Chain A
Amino acid sequence: MRQLKTSIVVAIAVITGIIVLVGYFIELPVLKNLRIMLLHFAVILIAVTLIVGVVNLVQVHWKKIQNRQSGGVYSLILLISLLVTIIVVGYFGPTSTPSLWIFSNIQIPIASSLIAVLTVVLIYTGIRLLKRGFNFFSLLFMVTVLIVILGTVSFQGFRIPGLRELSTWITQVPAVGGARGILLGVALGTIATGMRVLMGSDRPYGR
Protein backbone atom coordinates (compact mmCIF):
# COMPACT_ATOMS: atom_id res chain seq x y z
CA MET A 1 0.00 0.00 0.00
CA ARG A 2 2.83 2.36 0.99
CA GLN A 3 4.69 1.43 -2.21
CA LEU A 4 1.59 2.30 -4.23
CA LYS A 5 1.25 5.64 -2.43
CA THR A 6 4.90 6.45 -3.14
CA SER A 7 4.50 5.51 -6.80
CA ILE A 8 1.43 7.76 -7.16
CA VAL A 9 3.25 10.70 -5.54
CA VAL A 10 6.28 10.22 -7.80
CA ALA A 11 4.04 9.87 -10.87
CA ILE A 12 2.22 13.14 -10.04
CA ALA A 13 5.55 14.96 -9.54
CA VAL A 14 7.05 13.58 -12.76
CA ILE A 15 3.96 14.26 -14.93
CA THR A 16 3.57 17.79 -13.53
CA GLY A 17 7.25 18.51 -14.14
CA ILE A 18 7.11 17.22 -17.71
CA ILE A 19 3.97 19.25 -18.54
CA VAL A 20 5.54 22.48 -17.21
CA LEU A 21 8.84 21.81 -18.98
CA VAL A 22 7.35 20.84 -22.36
CA GLY A 23 4.78 23.64 -22.09
CA TYR A 24 7.62 26.11 -21.70
CA PHE A 25 9.26 25.03 -24.96
CA ILE A 26 6.25 24.20 -27.14
CA GLU A 27 3.51 26.80 -27.31
CA LEU A 28 0.52 24.56 -27.97
CA PRO A 29 -2.60 26.29 -26.55
CA VAL A 30 -3.72 23.19 -24.56
CA LEU A 31 -0.27 22.68 -23.10
CA LYS A 32 0.16 26.39 -22.40
CA ASN A 33 -3.16 26.58 -20.50
CA LEU A 34 -2.33 23.46 -18.51
CA ARG A 35 1.11 24.85 -17.66
CA ILE A 36 -0.35 28.21 -16.54
CA MET A 37 -2.95 26.42 -14.41
CA LEU A 38 -0.25 24.31 -12.71
CA LEU A 39 1.88 27.41 -12.13
CA HIS A 40 -1.12 29.15 -10.53
CA PHE A 41 -1.48 26.16 -8.19
CA ALA A 42 2.22 26.48 -7.37
CA VAL A 43 1.89 30.21 -6.60
CA ILE A 44 -1.03 29.56 -4.21
CA LEU A 45 0.91 26.73 -2.58
CA ILE A 46 3.98 28.94 -2.11
CA ALA A 47 1.82 31.61 -0.43
CA VAL A 48 0.46 28.97 1.94
CA THR A 49 3.95 27.66 2.70
CA LEU A 50 4.86 31.17 3.84
CA ILE A 51 2.29 30.78 6.63
CA VAL A 52 3.59 27.27 7.37
CA GLY A 53 7.08 28.79 7.57
CA VAL A 54 5.94 31.32 10.16
CA VAL A 55 4.23 28.56 12.17
CA ASN A 56 7.44 26.52 12.08
CA LEU A 57 9.44 29.56 13.24
CA VAL A 58 7.04 29.99 16.18
CA GLN A 59 7.24 26.26 17.04
CA VAL A 60 11.06 26.28 17.09
CA HIS A 61 11.29 29.37 19.30
CA TRP A 62 8.43 28.28 21.57
CA LYS A 63 10.22 24.98 22.15
CA LYS A 64 13.40 26.89 22.99
CA ILE A 65 11.54 28.93 25.60
CA GLN A 66 9.81 25.85 27.04
CA ASN A 67 13.10 23.92 27.36
CA ARG A 68 14.84 26.97 28.83
CA GLN A 69 17.62 26.66 26.25
CA SER A 70 20.35 29.28 25.97
CA GLY A 71 19.15 32.28 23.97
CA GLY A 72 15.57 31.66 25.09
CA VAL A 73 15.20 35.35 25.94
CA TYR A 74 15.85 36.25 22.32
CA SER A 75 13.24 33.73 21.24
CA LEU A 76 10.75 35.40 23.58
CA ILE A 77 11.58 38.82 22.11
CA LEU A 78 11.14 37.36 18.62
CA LEU A 79 7.72 35.92 19.44
CA ILE A 80 6.50 39.13 21.09
CA SER A 81 7.77 41.20 18.12
CA LEU A 82 6.06 38.83 15.69
CA LEU A 83 2.77 39.05 17.58
CA VAL A 84 2.89 42.85 17.86
CA THR A 85 3.74 43.20 14.14
CA ILE A 86 0.89 40.86 13.11
CA ILE A 87 -1.59 42.80 15.29
CA VAL A 88 -0.43 46.23 14.08
CA VAL A 89 -0.26 45.28 10.37
CA GLY A 90 -3.49 43.26 10.58
CA TYR A 91 -5.44 46.04 12.34
CA PHE A 92 -4.09 49.16 10.61
CA GLY A 93 -3.12 47.67 7.22
CA PRO A 94 0.30 47.08 5.63
CA THR A 95 0.73 50.63 4.26
CA SER A 96 -0.59 52.47 7.34
CA THR A 97 1.61 54.87 9.37
CA PRO A 98 2.16 52.48 12.35
CA SER A 99 3.12 49.60 10.02
CA LEU A 100 5.54 51.79 8.09
CA TRP A 101 6.94 53.08 11.39
CA ILE A 102 7.82 49.52 12.39
CA PHE A 103 9.37 48.92 8.99
CA SER A 104 11.41 52.15 8.89
CA ASN A 105 12.45 52.33 12.54
CA ILE A 106 12.99 48.68 13.42
CA GLN A 107 13.42 46.45 10.40
CA ILE A 108 15.55 48.73 8.21
CA PRO A 109 18.02 49.71 11.02
CA ILE A 110 18.44 46.05 12.00
CA ALA A 111 19.10 45.01 8.39
CA SER A 112 21.53 47.93 7.97
CA SER A 113 23.37 46.94 11.17
CA LEU A 114 23.74 43.42 9.85
CA ILE A 115 25.28 44.79 6.64
CA ALA A 116 27.63 46.97 8.73
CA VAL A 117 28.73 43.91 10.74
CA LEU A 118 29.20 42.07 7.46
CA THR A 119 31.51 44.80 6.15
CA VAL A 120 33.71 44.57 9.26
CA VAL A 121 33.76 40.76 9.09
CA LEU A 122 34.74 40.85 5.42
CA ILE A 123 37.65 43.24 6.02
CA TYR A 124 38.85 41.26 9.03
CA THR A 125 38.67 37.95 7.20
CA GLY A 126 40.31 39.36 4.09
CA ILE A 127 43.35 40.08 6.24
CA ARG A 128 43.05 36.71 7.98
CA LEU A 129 43.14 35.00 4.57
CA LEU A 130 46.78 36.04 4.22
CA LYS A 131 47.56 34.67 7.68
CA ARG A 132 45.70 31.38 7.16
CA GLY A 133 47.47 30.15 4.09
CA PHE A 134 49.78 32.55 2.34
CA ASN A 135 50.13 31.31 -1.22
CA PHE A 136 50.09 32.67 -4.76
CA PHE A 137 46.27 32.56 -5.02
CA SER A 138 45.58 34.32 -1.70
CA LEU A 139 48.08 37.01 -2.72
CA LEU A 140 46.45 37.33 -6.15
CA PHE A 141 43.04 37.58 -4.47
CA MET A 142 44.16 40.37 -2.15
CA VAL A 143 46.00 42.31 -4.89
CA THR A 144 42.91 42.13 -7.11
CA VAL A 145 40.70 43.38 -4.26
CA LEU A 146 43.08 46.30 -3.62
CA ILE A 147 43.31 47.25 -7.30
CA VAL A 148 39.52 47.20 -7.70
CA ILE A 149 38.96 49.25 -4.52
CA LEU A 150 41.69 51.79 -5.31
CA GLY A 151 40.49 52.00 -8.90
CA THR A 152 37.00 53.02 -7.86
CA VAL A 153 37.85 55.65 -5.22
CA SER A 154 39.75 58.90 -5.42
CA PHE A 155 41.65 60.80 -2.71
CA GLN A 156 40.77 64.53 -2.81
CA GLY A 157 40.19 64.17 -6.55
CA PHE A 158 43.55 62.45 -7.07
CA ARG A 159 43.64 59.11 -8.82
CA ILE A 160 46.61 56.85 -9.46
CA PRO A 161 47.04 56.95 -13.25
CA GLY A 162 46.04 53.79 -15.07
CA LEU A 163 44.50 52.16 -11.99
CA ARG A 164 40.94 52.90 -12.97
CA GLU A 165 41.48 51.35 -16.42
CA LEU A 166 43.16 48.32 -14.85
CA SER A 167 40.30 47.96 -12.35
CA THR A 168 37.72 48.19 -15.16
CA TRP A 169 39.62 45.63 -17.20
CA ILE A 170 39.77 43.21 -14.25
CA THR A 171 36.06 43.50 -13.50
CA GLN A 172 35.00 43.33 -17.15
CA VAL A 173 37.35 40.71 -18.57
CA PRO A 174 38.87 38.06 -16.25
CA ALA A 175 36.20 38.41 -13.53
CA VAL A 176 33.30 38.19 -15.96
CA GLY A 177 34.98 35.31 -17.83
CA GLY A 178 35.52 33.37 -14.60
CA ALA A 179 32.00 34.12 -13.39
CA ARG A 180 30.51 32.87 -16.66
CA GLY A 181 32.54 29.67 -16.40
CA ILE A 182 31.22 29.08 -12.89
CA LEU A 183 27.66 29.97 -13.92
CA LEU A 184 27.80 27.50 -16.83
CA GLY A 185 28.77 24.80 -14.32
CA VAL A 186 25.94 25.87 -12.01
CA ALA A 187 23.47 25.80 -14.94
CA LEU A 188 24.56 22.27 -15.92
CA GLY A 189 24.28 21.16 -12.28
CA THR A 190 20.81 22.69 -12.01
CA ILE A 191 19.67 20.91 -15.20
CA ALA A 192 21.08 17.59 -13.94
CA THR A 193 19.32 18.04 -10.57
CA GLY A 194 16.05 18.92 -12.32
CA MET A 195 16.37 15.88 -14.60
CA ARG A 196 16.93 13.56 -11.64
CA VAL A 197 13.82 14.96 -9.94
CA LEU A 198 11.83 14.57 -13.20
CA MET A 199 13.02 10.98 -13.54
CA GLY A 200 12.01 10.29 -9.94
CA SER A 201 15.53 9.15 -9.00
CA ASP A 202 16.02 12.12 -6.67
CA ARG A 203 13.04 12.78 -4.43
CA PRO A 204 13.28 15.86 -2.22
CA TYR A 205 9.91 14.87 -0.72
CA GLY A 206 8.75 11.91 1.34
CA ARG A 207 10.02 8.39 0.61
Chain B
Amino acid sequence: MNYLDYLYIVDRGIQGLGFVLIFFFVMIISAIIVRRRDKPFIREIPTYSKLKQSISLAVESGQRLHLSLGSGGINSMQGGSALAGLSLLKRLYRMTYLSDRPPVATSGEGTIGILSRDSIRSVYEEVGVMEEYEPTTGQVSGLTPEPYIAGTLLVILDQHVSTNILMGNYNSGIALLADAGERRGCLTVAGSDNITAQAVGYVFTEDLLVGEELFASGAYIQPSTMHVASLHTQDFFRWGIVAVILVAGALKLAGVM
Protein backbone atom coordinates (compact mmCIF):
# COMPACT_ATOMS: atom_id res chain seq x y z
CA MET B 1 0.00 0.00 0.00
CA ASN B 2 1.51 3.33 -1.02
CA TYR B 3 1.28 6.63 0.80
CA LEU B 4 -1.70 7.90 -1.24
CA ASP B 5 -3.74 4.73 -0.66
CA TYR B 6 -3.08 5.00 3.06
CA LEU B 7 -4.10 8.68 3.01
CA TYR B 8 -7.34 7.78 1.17
CA ILE B 9 -8.25 5.14 3.77
CA VAL B 10 -7.50 7.51 6.67
CA ASP B 11 -9.46 10.27 4.94
CA ARG B 12 -12.49 8.00 4.34
CA GLY B 13 -12.32 6.80 7.93
CA ILE B 14 -12.18 10.33 9.33
CA GLN B 15 -15.14 11.40 7.16
CA GLY B 16 -17.26 8.47 8.31
CA LEU B 17 -16.31 8.76 11.95
CA GLY B 18 -16.75 12.52 11.75
CA PHE B 19 -20.32 12.09 10.48
CA VAL B 20 -21.13 9.63 13.28
CA LEU B 21 -19.64 11.98 15.91
CA ILE B 22 -21.58 15.00 14.57
CA PHE B 23 -24.76 12.87 14.60
CA PHE B 24 -24.01 11.88 18.19
CA PHE B 25 -23.45 15.47 19.36
CA VAL B 26 -26.57 16.78 17.60
CA MET B 27 -28.53 13.98 19.28
CA ILE B 28 -27.14 14.91 22.71
CA ILE B 29 -27.93 18.61 22.19
CA SER B 30 -31.44 17.69 21.00
CA ALA B 31 -31.91 15.51 24.09
CA ILE B 32 -30.94 18.42 26.36
CA ILE B 33 -33.40 20.73 24.56
CA VAL B 34 -36.18 18.11 24.67
CA ARG B 35 -35.62 17.52 28.40
CA ARG B 36 -35.86 21.28 29.13
CA ARG B 37 -39.18 21.62 27.33
CA ASP B 38 -42.40 20.73 29.14
CA LYS B 39 -43.99 19.28 26.04
CA PRO B 40 -41.61 18.28 23.25
CA PHE B 41 -42.67 19.30 19.78
CA ILE B 42 -43.04 16.52 17.24
CA ARG B 43 -45.02 16.62 14.02
CA GLU B 44 -48.14 14.48 13.94
CA ILE B 45 -48.02 11.18 12.10
CA PRO B 46 -51.68 10.10 11.72
CA THR B 47 -50.72 6.40 11.55
CA TYR B 48 -49.25 6.45 15.06
CA SER B 49 -52.33 8.27 16.46
CA LYS B 50 -54.51 5.58 14.89
CA LEU B 51 -52.23 2.85 16.25
CA LYS B 52 -52.44 4.21 19.80
CA GLN B 53 -56.24 4.18 19.61
CA SER B 54 -56.19 0.70 18.20
CA ILE B 55 -53.94 -0.59 21.01
CA SER B 56 -56.37 0.74 23.64
CA LEU B 57 -59.32 -0.81 21.80
CA ALA B 58 -57.53 -4.16 21.53
CA VAL B 59 -56.92 -4.25 25.30
CA GLU B 60 -60.55 -3.35 26.06
CA SER B 61 -62.04 -5.84 23.63
CA GLY B 62 -59.63 -8.68 24.47
CA GLN B 63 -58.28 -8.85 20.95
CA ARG B 64 -54.71 -9.62 20.02
CA LEU B 65 -52.07 -7.36 18.48
CA HIS B 66 -49.65 -8.87 16.03
CA LEU B 67 -46.23 -7.36 15.44
CA SER B 68 -44.36 -8.79 12.50
CA LEU B 69 -40.63 -8.03 12.64
CA GLY B 70 -39.86 -9.14 9.08
CA SER B 71 -37.22 -11.53 7.89
CA GLY B 72 -34.12 -9.37 8.28
CA GLY B 73 -31.45 -10.20 10.83
CA ILE B 74 -29.28 -7.91 12.94
CA ASN B 75 -26.13 -8.81 11.04
CA SER B 76 -27.06 -6.71 8.01
CA MET B 77 -28.34 -3.26 7.05
CA GLN B 78 -31.87 -4.62 7.41
CA GLY B 79 -31.25 -5.01 11.14
CA GLY B 80 -32.13 -1.37 11.76
CA SER B 81 -35.79 -1.86 10.90
CA ALA B 82 -35.98 -5.00 13.06
CA LEU B 83 -34.42 -3.11 15.99
CA ALA B 84 -37.04 -0.39 15.52
CA GLY B 85 -39.71 -3.10 15.62
CA LEU B 86 -38.23 -4.58 18.80
CA SER B 87 -38.29 -1.17 20.43
CA LEU B 88 -42.01 -0.93 19.61
CA LEU B 89 -42.55 -4.48 20.90
CA LYS B 90 -41.44 -3.55 24.42
CA ARG B 91 -43.72 -0.53 24.39
CA LEU B 92 -46.67 -2.60 23.16
CA TYR B 93 -46.18 -5.10 25.96
CA ARG B 94 -45.89 -2.39 28.61
CA MET B 95 -49.28 -1.10 27.43
CA THR B 96 -51.03 -4.44 27.01
CA TYR B 97 -49.50 -7.05 29.34
CA LEU B 98 -52.75 -7.25 31.31
CA SER B 99 -54.81 -7.98 28.21
CA ASP B 100 -56.58 -11.37 27.92
CA ARG B 101 -54.66 -11.99 24.75
CA PRO B 102 -51.12 -10.60 24.90
CA PRO B 103 -49.55 -9.39 21.64
CA VAL B 104 -47.74 -11.91 19.49
CA ALA B 105 -44.47 -11.10 17.71
CA THR B 106 -43.31 -13.04 14.68
CA SER B 107 -39.86 -12.93 13.15
CA GLY B 108 -38.12 -14.63 10.26
CA GLU B 109 -34.65 -14.90 11.73
CA GLY B 110 -33.16 -16.62 14.75
CA THR B 111 -31.44 -13.64 16.40
CA ILE B 112 -34.51 -11.41 16.13
CA GLY B 113 -36.62 -14.31 17.46
CA ILE B 114 -34.41 -14.58 20.55
CA LEU B 115 -34.36 -10.81 21.06
CA SER B 116 -38.15 -10.61 20.74
CA ARG B 117 -38.63 -13.28 23.42
CA ASP B 118 -36.06 -11.61 25.63
CA SER B 119 -37.76 -8.23 25.19
CA ILE B 120 -41.19 -9.68 26.05
CA ARG B 121 -39.82 -11.55 29.08
CA SER B 122 -38.07 -8.41 30.32
CA VAL B 123 -41.36 -6.49 30.34
CA TYR B 124 -43.08 -9.23 32.40
CA GLU B 125 -40.08 -9.21 34.76
CA GLU B 126 -40.19 -5.42 34.98
CA VAL B 127 -43.85 -5.36 36.02
CA GLY B 128 -43.49 -8.43 38.27
CA VAL B 129 -45.90 -10.83 36.56
CA MET B 130 -43.48 -13.46 35.26
CA GLU B 131 -46.11 -16.20 35.75
CA GLU B 132 -48.12 -14.61 32.91
CA TYR B 133 -45.24 -14.88 30.44
CA GLU B 134 -45.82 -17.22 27.49
CA PRO B 135 -42.61 -18.05 25.57
CA THR B 136 -44.54 -18.72 22.36
CA THR B 137 -45.73 -15.10 22.11
CA GLY B 138 -42.37 -14.36 20.53
CA GLN B 139 -42.11 -16.82 17.69
CA VAL B 140 -39.98 -17.56 14.67
CA SER B 141 -42.53 -18.39 11.99
CA GLY B 142 -40.12 -19.25 9.17
CA LEU B 143 -36.41 -18.93 8.57
CA THR B 144 -36.38 -17.64 4.98
CA PRO B 145 -38.62 -14.94 3.46
CA GLU B 146 -41.28 -17.16 1.78
CA PRO B 147 -41.79 -19.63 4.65
CA TYR B 148 -41.84 -16.65 7.01
CA ILE B 149 -44.72 -15.09 5.06
CA ALA B 150 -46.57 -18.43 4.98
CA GLY B 151 -46.07 -19.02 8.72
CA THR B 152 -47.10 -15.48 9.65
CA LEU B 153 -50.28 -15.71 7.57
CA LEU B 154 -51.49 -18.44 9.93
CA VAL B 155 -50.90 -16.21 12.96
CA ILE B 156 -52.91 -13.35 11.43
CA LEU B 157 -55.75 -15.60 10.32
CA ASP B 158 -56.03 -17.88 13.38
CA GLN B 159 -55.25 -15.81 16.47
CA HIS B 160 -58.05 -13.19 16.84
CA VAL B 161 -55.77 -10.41 15.67
CA SER B 162 -57.33 -6.93 15.62
CA THR B 163 -54.23 -4.89 14.81
CA ASN B 164 -51.57 -6.02 12.45
CA ILE B 165 -48.27 -4.14 12.65
CA LEU B 166 -45.76 -4.99 9.93
CA MET B 167 -42.46 -3.41 10.84
CA GLY B 168 -39.21 -4.77 9.44
CA ASN B 169 -37.62 -6.03 6.27
CA TYR B 170 -39.90 -7.63 3.66
CA ASN B 171 -40.04 -8.25 -0.03
CA SER B 172 -43.26 -7.96 -2.04
CA GLY B 173 -44.62 -10.81 0.14
CA ILE B 174 -45.79 -8.07 2.54
CA ALA B 175 -48.82 -7.94 0.21
CA LEU B 176 -50.04 -11.33 1.44
CA LEU B 177 -49.70 -10.32 5.10
CA ALA B 178 -51.51 -7.01 4.57
CA ASP B 179 -54.22 -8.72 2.53
CA ALA B 180 -54.76 -11.35 5.26
CA GLY B 181 -55.07 -8.55 7.80
CA GLU B 182 -57.57 -6.73 5.66
CA ARG B 183 -59.64 -9.90 5.21
CA ARG B 184 -59.76 -10.28 9.01
CA GLY B 185 -60.86 -6.64 9.26
CA CYS B 186 -57.70 -5.61 11.14
CA LEU B 187 -56.07 -2.23 11.21
CA THR B 188 -52.88 -2.83 9.26
CA VAL B 189 -49.91 -0.56 9.87
CA ALA B 190 -47.01 -1.23 7.53
CA GLY B 191 -43.48 0.10 7.36
CA SER B 192 -40.42 -1.34 5.73
CA ASP B 193 -36.89 -0.33 4.81
CA ASN B 194 -37.38 -2.04 1.45
CA ILE B 195 -38.58 0.14 -1.45
CA THR B 196 -40.57 -2.67 -3.13
CA ALA B 197 -42.37 -3.42 0.12
CA GLN B 198 -43.17 0.29 0.55
CA ALA B 199 -44.69 0.47 -2.93
CA VAL B 200 -46.75 -2.67 -2.29
CA GLY B 201 -47.74 -1.37 1.15
CA TYR B 202 -49.11 1.81 -0.42
CA VAL B 203 -51.62 -0.27 -2.35
CA PHE B 204 -52.66 -2.35 0.64
CA THR B 205 -53.01 0.04 3.51
CA GLU B 206 -53.84 3.65 4.19
CA ASP B 207 -51.63 3.45 7.26
CA LEU B 208 -48.22 3.25 5.69
CA LEU B 209 -45.08 4.42 7.48
CA VAL B 210 -42.89 5.97 4.80
CA GLY B 211 -39.09 6.01 5.06
CA GLU B 212 -37.82 7.18 8.42
CA GLU B 213 -41.32 7.18 9.99
CA LEU B 214 -40.71 3.48 10.57
CA PHE B 215 -37.99 4.35 13.10
CA ALA B 216 -40.04 6.97 14.93
CA SER B 217 -42.38 4.70 16.93
CA GLY B 218 -40.51 5.37 20.19
CA ALA B 219 -41.25 9.09 19.89
CA TYR B 220 -45.01 8.53 19.54
CA ILE B 221 -45.86 5.40 21.52
CA GLN B 222 -44.76 5.87 25.15
CA PRO B 223 -42.26 8.56 24.11
CA SER B 224 -38.81 8.75 25.65
CA THR B 225 -36.41 11.69 25.55
CA MET B 226 -33.81 9.95 23.40
CA HIS B 227 -36.38 8.82 20.83
CA VAL B 228 -37.76 12.33 20.46
CA ALA B 229 -34.20 13.70 20.31
CA SER B 230 -33.19 11.21 17.63
CA LEU B 231 -36.27 12.22 15.61
CA HIS B 232 -35.19 15.88 15.79
CA THR B 233 -31.65 14.84 14.80
CA GLN B 234 -32.99 12.97 11.76
CA ASP B 235 -34.97 16.08 10.77
CA PHE B 236 -31.88 18.26 11.24
CA PHE B 237 -29.79 16.05 8.97
CA ARG B 238 -32.57 15.73 6.42
CA TRP B 239 -32.73 19.50 6.08
CA GLY B 240 -28.94 19.46 5.73
CA ILE B 241 -29.14 16.91 2.93
CA VAL B 242 -31.88 18.94 1.19
CA ALA B 243 -29.66 22.04 1.36
CA VAL B 244 -26.64 20.15 -0.02
CA ILE B 245 -28.70 18.72 -2.91
CA LEU B 246 -30.14 22.15 -3.79
CA VAL B 247 -26.75 23.87 -3.62
CA ALA B 248 -25.09 21.09 -5.67
CA GLY B 249 -27.92 21.27 -8.24
CA ALA B 250 -27.57 25.06 -8.50
CA LEU B 251 -23.78 24.82 -8.88
CA LYS B 252 -24.19 22.16 -11.56
CA LEU B 253 -26.67 24.37 -13.46
CA ALA B 254 -24.27 27.29 -13.17
CA GLY B 255 -21.53 25.11 -14.64
CA VAL B 256 -19.30 25.36 -11.55
CA MET B 257 -19.35 21.61 -10.81
Tell me the A residues contacting B by CB distance below 8 Å. 21-22, 24-27, 42-43, 45-46, 48-54, 56-57, 59-60, 63, 69-71, 74, 110-111, 114-115, 117-118, 121-122, 125-126, 129, 132-133, 141, 179, 181-186, 188-197, 199, 201-202, 204-207
Contact = CB atoms under 8 A, between A and B. Distances in A.
B109 A141 contact: no
A182 B231 CA distance: 15
B50 interface: no
B163 interface: no
Contacts of A132: 206
B77 A190 contact: yes
B40 interface: no
A69 B213 CA distance: 37
B16 A24 contact: yes
A133 B207 CA distance: 13
B23 A46 contact: no
B210 A182 contact: yes
Contacts of A50: 110, 143
B203 A195 contact: no
B109 A53 contact: yes
A181 B211 contact: yes
B204 interface: yes
Given A49-B110, A133-B206, A193-B83, A21 B20 contact: yes
Contact of A192 (B12, B136, B173, B215): B215
Contacts of B90: 204
B234 interface: yes
The 4 closest A-B pairs by CB, nearest first: A185-B211, A49-B110, A189-B215, A190-B80
Given A48-B110, A118-B172, 16 more contacts: A25-B17, A57-B151, A114-B149, A118-B175, A125-B204, A129-B203, A179-B195, A186-B212, A189-B234, A190-B80, A191-B23, A192-B27, A196-B226, A196-B227, A196-B230, A199-B27
A207 B125 contact: yes
A53 B213 CA distance: 29
B215 A190 contact: yes
Interface in B229-251: 230-231, 233-234, 237-238, 241
Given A121-B175, A205-B118, A25 B110 contact: no
Contacts of B75: 42-43, 46
A69 to B, nearest CB: 7
B224 interface: yes
B204 to A, nearest CB: 6
Contacts of B81: 186, 190
Contact of B119 (A115, A181, A183, A205): A205
B230 A197 contact: no
Contacts of B146: 110-111, 114-115
B33 interface: no
B113 interface: yes
B203 A201 contact: no
**Which of A56, A114, A194 has most chain B Cβ within 10 Å?**
A56
**Which of A60, A70, A181, A199 has most chain B Cβ within 10 Å?**
A60
A158 B202 CA distance: 32
B119 A204 contact: yes
Given A25-B17, A114-B146, A179-B195, A188 B234 contact: yes
